[in-house]
Amino acid sequence: MDARERLIESAQQLLWERGYVGMSPKAIQDRASAGQGSMYHHFENKAALASTAIARSAEQLYEAARQEFAQPCSALDRIVSYLHRERDALRGCRVGRLTQDPEIIADPQLRRPVQEMFAKLTQELASLIVEGQSAGEFRTEMNPEDTASTILAVLQGAYVLARAANSTEPYDRAIAGAISLLKQQGDVKRAPRK
């Protein structure tokens, strides 16, 4: 791996662990085993490296989600698979955690990849819900965009609950609850009406 890639990976990890302020150039260089000259040869400044690292993290998470969404099974099963994907609940989402960083949120260039990733995930989930509605898996009354936003909100909130409790139990319960609610949307349609 060349120095540029080591710098990006180091920045990704430091952003996840410490946030933008804690991602000092010295910490990046130490973790990447790269000198100051190498860092500034590849990136104009810390913000440029952070922007590249955030975009890379966002793209990696989005691509991992797309793999779940592309499985050859029902729309519901793909959403469930996405929610059940192995995650480190106590570390939190490496992109979602960035929304709590005031420096990142205040800078449109740093915030953009985070915002775009969540928008793309919302659209992917909404498309799956529409597909599920067409297949009779979900009630047609469900609003796909609202439901997609709710799924992402539960997932991100589950990380917060886990970190607050220093336990994965609240995370697991939130995910189980979201899945139960999604399954009920299908059961409602098949249930006889009175």
Query: What percent of the chain clears pLDDT 70, i.e. is strictly above it?
Result: 95
Please give the C-alpha separations between residue 29 and each of 4, 19, 36, in angstroms, as whole numbers: 11, 16, 7
Going from the N-terminus, what domains does the chain have, and what CATH number goes with each? 59-190 (1.10.357.10)
Confidence at 186, pLDDT banded by 50, 70, 90: confident
What would the pLDDT profile of 48-95 be if each residue is shown by its tens digit?
Answer: 999 999 999 999 999 999 999 999 999 999 999 999 999 999 999 999
What would the pLDDT profile of 122-143 be if each residue is shown by its tens digit?
Answer: 999 999 999 999 999 999 999 9
Question: Mean pLDDT for the chain?
Answer: 91
Whether this prediction's pTM lies above 0.75 is answered by yes
Position 76 scores a pLDDT of 95
